[in-house]
Amino acid sequence: MDTQQLALVFPGQGSQKVGMLAELGESFSIVKNTFAEASDALGYDMWDLVQNGEQAQLNLTETTQPVLLTASVAVWRLWGEQGGLRPSLLAGHSLGEFSALVCAGAIEFADAVRLVRSRGQYMQTAVPVGEGAMAAVLGLDDAQIVQICAEAAAGTGVVEAVNFNSPGQVVIAGQVAAVDKAIELLKAAGAKRAMPLPVSAPFHTSLMRPAGEKLALALADITVRQPSIPVVHNVHGKTESDPGAIKALLVEQIYSAVKWVDCVETMVSAGINTTIECGPGKVLSGLNKRINKSLNGLNIESPASLAAALDFIR
C-alpha cells in the first residue's frame, strides 16, 4: 500500500492490563529493551510490574501513563524493525498523543516517560480523590450533551463534555454532584446509556487547569523538536510543526476536550484509509471504524496481530 494511506495511532488510559505485550516481549527483544529503558528512567522494573503486578497498581494514573507510553513506543520500534511501512500521520488519544510525539522524534523517550509520570501525578492531585467523576454517554448527539451539561452545571458545579470519541459516544466529567445530575438529565433526554466510569479524577475538564500549569513548568525543561512525521493533536484535530506550539497544545490538552472524531476526520481527509493501533487493546480501532466505516483498523499487541498488520500493508 501507499505510505500516504497509513496512520499509526496510540491508545490512552483504560487500555492497560496485567500481562499486556507478554508474547511480544518473549518473541522480540526490542520490546523488553524498550521497557528496560523506561525502567532506567523511572527507577523501577516496569516490565515486572506490567507482567506480575496488581491491576490496581497499573490503574494508578501516575503508573498507567508511563506504562502505556512505553508499550506504545515498544510496538512502534518493533514495527520499524520488522520492516513495517512508515506512516504519513500519527495520532494518539489523550496520553497517546505523547506516545505519538515520541515516535515522531519530537520528544526523547526517557524525557517523555518521566514527563507523563509527572503528568499523571499532576492530574491526580488537581482534584482530591472522591470529588471528581467521569461517565460515558451513548445515543445522543454532541450538541445535546453539551447543552445538558451546561444545565446540570448550573448550581451543582463543573460538568463538561470531555471526550468526543465517535458519533453517539461522548464522555463527560466534572464534580461528582454535577456529573450525577447530568446523568439523570441525559437519561431523561433519551440517552441509551449514561454510566459512571471507574476513574479517579475528572480528566480533560477545566478542573485540570492546575495540572496544566504544573505541566507547563515541567515542559519548560524539555526539548521538543519538529516532528519527523506530522502528529494530529487532540485539542483542535490538526497537525502542528512548531515546537513551542506543540508544548502549548500539550498543556491545553490536559484541561480541554479530546476531539478524537476531528482527529480521525483529518486523517481521512488527508487520504488515510488504514490505521494501526500500537499497544494493548483495540479501543481506537473500534472508535475509528464508527467514525468512518471505510477505514481499515488493525492493532498490534501480539505476534499474531503483528504478522497480520505486516501482511496487510504489503
CA distance 294 to 289: 7
Max intra-chain CA distance, the chain: 57
* Closest of 243, 94, 222 to residue 162, by C-alpha: 94
What is the H or E stretch that residue 109 is in? Answer: helix 109-126
Catalytic member of 15, 99, 204, 233: 204
Cβ neighbour number for residue 252 with a 10 Å cutoff: 17
CA distances from 200 to 59, 123, 254 (A): 9, 9, 15
What is the H or E stretch that residue 161 is in? Answer: strand 159-166
Catalytic member of 39, 94, 118, 166: 94
Task: Answer whether 42's CB lies under 8 Å from 121's CB.
Answer: no
Grid coordinates given for 264: 480521525
Catalytic residue status for 94: yes
Give the DSSP letter of residue 84: P
Task: Answer whether 24's CB lies under 8 Å from 78's CB.
Answer: yes
Grid coordinates given for 73: 513506543
CA distance 67 to 59: 10
Rg (CA), the chain: 19
Check the CA dihedral 195-199-200-202 and report its sign: negative
Residue with cell 496485567: 18
Q: Which residues are catalytic?
A: 94, 204
